[in-house]
Amino acid sequence: MELKYILNKGVTAAFIVIFLANILLFCKGLTDSELACADENGYAYSDFVFYYNDCVEFLKSADNSELTEKINLYYRENVTDENKQSLLAVVKQLQAQADYVNSYASDIEWSVSQAETMISFNIYNDKSSYSYNNILKGRYDLKKLKDIDLSVTSNIAYDNIFGYRYAGYFIALIMIIFVSRFKADNHGFNAVIKAAYKGRGMLAAKRAGLTASAAIMATFFIYMPIVLISFARYGGTLDLNSLIQCNPLFSRSVLIISYAGLLGIIFLLHCAAAAAAGFIAWLFFLAFRDRHMAVMGIVIFSLLEGFFYLTKSGNIFFKFMRSVNIFCFLNPSGIFKKYDNWGFGQYIINTGLLSVIAIICIILFNLIVILCISSSLWSGIEVKSKVLSSAARKIRKNFAYIPNFFKELKKTLLLQKGLLVIAAALLYIVTADFGVAGRAENGQLEMAEYYSFAEGDAYRRTDEYVENTIKWIDEAKKTAAQLQEKGDLTGSNDLQNRIKEKESMLNKISEESDRVKQLNQRGITSAGILDTYKYEKRYGARMNTYYQNFVLAVFFVIIFLTCKTFSIERRSRMTSIIRTTDFGRGKYLRTRIFTGVMIVEAVVLFENIIQFIKVNNVFSLKDYERPLAVQSINCMENCPLSLSILQFEIVLIIYRMAVYGLTALFIIGLSMYLEESGVFFVSIVAFLPYILSSIGIKSFEKLSIVRLAAGVECFQSPGGIGEIIIFIAALSVLAAASVRMAVVKWQRQ
């Protein structure tokens, strides 16, 4: 019964969104790495995974001393012209793993002997000191690792599972939402229960049980999909019984356990961390009478914990605070990746163990305090400030008579929690790099000299540049020959290498030049040579993934901002009052819909500008100064529109703004009929093709509205433009129908 009350439609919808966000974030991270591999190394990651797992399987029968030989044999037996690159990468990766496995015992032995040597130093003479005892404990723990049997295992899935840091945060968010419902008004039902014999204690005990169950369920639904997706995508289940030390990630972990065992322990620790997060949040909700103050308290607590977690000081206090930190608990795999101790004098404890003990203590302590407070009559602290409330009243008085247009804005921003959504969205857009930032540096340098010379009017100055370079090569060849004659082989070799680089660059410039000439022959007279690397990346496959992530985030902002447009009138029971007024059926509707769309457009425009600046910081577009045709970019060669690059960027933004505006209109109309949970359900159905294609079912990609809204890919071919036209037309029809039906319902009821 209590659970039914807690899990209302809104909370269930929020949990579904969190569940999907977790899967999408994880899958997007994998996809981005795969695309990066294809981009930077020139082979499909799926090929790499296939040969990697196949080779690991092949190595199972081999003795550790034969690993290198077997890896080379596998390469020779399987190499073809098509798979050469991916197979070479597999060989490199597995050779590194084989070297690690073979040298593990000697590495440990070396560490143990290092510890013994250090003990003999004078500075560690004091046998009661922390340093001395820490080394002793290190030596003792590492000795346990000396005789373990390691093998080459398939690590990709495990690297991804143990490397994913966000599962704990999603679980914590679910727990905070869950316990916040304990504070929600339930029409006086809490008061009835509290007045009953033993009601308070029973209610608190029941809720504590529910929180613990919720922790297990949240962990199951957030953590398990990560494990399953990783195994489904990259294999590795055959190594579940192998020791975790087979993976270099856990080279110094003193817990001798299999992957399966570690997965189980991490699941349990996630559950414990979730319960701890839930109980801490619940304590805040009990300690403060006002829910907003409780949320503020949770935010301040999180900031403090974040500060301690990020402070990498060796100081005993900071080290302790880092080990007993909620952020440390929320990322339990991190506990096993390192070997570290904490303590003073002869009292030393492993930081991992300290964290585990701390979680248990925190859970018990919070539980006891919660039960005590809940069983008492105390109803929490009430924070009041006369100065602040007086100032607030003055401000409210001055703004009470602003026109209704601004009051509709206020309803969206404050009553519908729009400001919170905008702030969260901005924080997300500004901080999330979507896996794109800073990845272009090496490539950007490749032809930097040429682009820097040719900047401004590249095509005309190309001949001049080529001429100068050929002259330089001729001179350099002569100089190299002279240096060789003088016996300066190093100088000569260096110069020869520079000559090769220049010649290779000339080839590239020549290829580009030919391509531009072909474009000119097609009638695209304003085509020119561009910084290929930057532009191809900016509009290529990986950036398209980035744009889709961004568009998805924006879609969610729109949904959150508009889904309550009319449901808020129903909930505040204002419908009949507004409808009985003079302007309540015409002007009000127009203002309400207009302000909703206006806020959405303003927010998304601002976010698009931020996104543009972020992308520009990585792949700058200096060539905006030149009105070059968008077809100058290789991947945009088949774009049927006659546009310059700058015009293309503007068209792209206008197109997206139109899509966002129409989406906002559609959802505003929908809110006349549905509550938020209903709107979310419709949205999730609409995003289903995107979700399915993100988790690997690519046949749904064509139907993905996120792909269509991102647009870049569609603008790359005449067929794509057709898709865009159909998409905009369909969205317009849906938006118009939704708004029309809403208006009719409001006016006629």
Partner 1 sequence: MAEAVIEVKNLSKKYGSFEALKNVDIKLEKGIYAFLGLNGAGKTTFINLLTDNISRTSGDIFYNGTEIKRLSGKYRKKIGYMPQEQGYYGDFTGREYLSYIAGLKGVKNKKNKVEELLSQFNLEDKADIKIKKYSGGMRQRIVLAQTMLDDPLIIILDEPTVGLDPLERRRFKNYIKEISKEKIVIYCTHIISDVTDLADRLVFMKNGELVRVCGIDEIIDEAECADKSLEMIVLSYIN
Footprint on this chain of partner 1 (rule: CB under 8 A): 393-394, 396-397, 399-401, 403-404, 407, 411, 414-415, 572-588, 748-749
Between 577 and 650, name the residue whose CB sits nearer to partner 1. Answer: 577
State the nearest-atom distance from the C-beta of 673 to partner 1, in Å.
17
Could you please report the per-residue DSSP string of 519-587? HHHTT-TT-----HHHHHHHHSHHHHHHHHHHHHHHHHHHHHHHTTTTHHHHHTT-HHHHHTSTTTTTH
Structure tokens at 620: 């700058």
* Phi, then psi, of 695 in degrees rounded to 5: -90, 10
Smallest gap, in angstroms, from Cβ of residue 744 to partner 1?
Answer: 11
- Of the pair 577, 697, the CB lying nearest partner 1 is at 577
Query: Distance (Å, rounded) from C-alpha 489 to C-alpha 481?
Result: 10
- The values of phi and psi at residue 288, to 5°, are -110, 135
- Work out how close the CB of 409 gets to partner 1 at its nearest, in angstroms, rounded to a whole number: 12
**Would you say 408 and 565 are in contact if contact means Cβ atoms under 8 Å apart?**
no
Indicate the residue among 657 and 741 with the shorter CB distance to partner 1.
741
Q: How far is the CB of 574 from partner 1 (least distance, A)?
A: 4
Minimum CB distance to partner 1, residue 317 (Å): 43
User: Rounded distance, CA 97 to CA 109, Å?
Assistant: 19
Residue 422 C-beta: closest distance to partner 1, Å: 17
CB of 424 to partner 1, least distance (A): 19
Q: Tell me the closest approach of the beta carbon of residue 403 to partner 1, in angstroms.
A: 7
Q: Long-range CB contacts (< 8 A, 24+ apart) of 401-408? A: 404/588, 404/591, 405/591, 405/595, 408/591, 408/592, 408/595
- Helix, strand, coil in percent for the chain, rounding step 5: 75, 0, 20
Task: Report which DSSP code applies to 633.
Answer: S
CB of 290 to partner 1, least distance (A): 11
For residue 723, the surrounding DSSP H or E stretch is helix 718-748
Distance CA 90, CA 21 (A): 32
CB of 534 to partner 1, least distance (A): 48
Alpha-carbon distances, residue 235 vs 25, 51, 109 (angstroms): 20, 12, 33
The residue (of 408 and 713) whose beta carbon lies closer to partner 1 is: 408
DSSP string, 106-155: HHHHHHHHHHHHHHHSGGG--TTSHHHHHHHHHHHHHHTTTT--------
Q: Minimum distance from CB of 408 to partner 1 (Å)?
A: 9
Q: Residue 258: beta bridge partners?
A: 243
Q: Which of 324, 212, 227, 230 is nearest to 266 (CA)?
A: 227
3-state secondary structure of 342: strand
What is d(CA 645, CA 608) in angstroms, rounded to the nearest whole number?
17
Q: Which is nearer to partner 1, 191 or 654 (CB)?
A: 191
Instruction: Give the nearer residue to partner 1 in terms of CB position, either 197 or 401.
Output: 401
681: how many CB neighbours lie within 10 A of its CB? 16
Cα dihedral value 269, 270, 272, 277, nearest 10:
140
Q: Which is nearer to partner 1, 424 or 568 (CB)?
A: 568
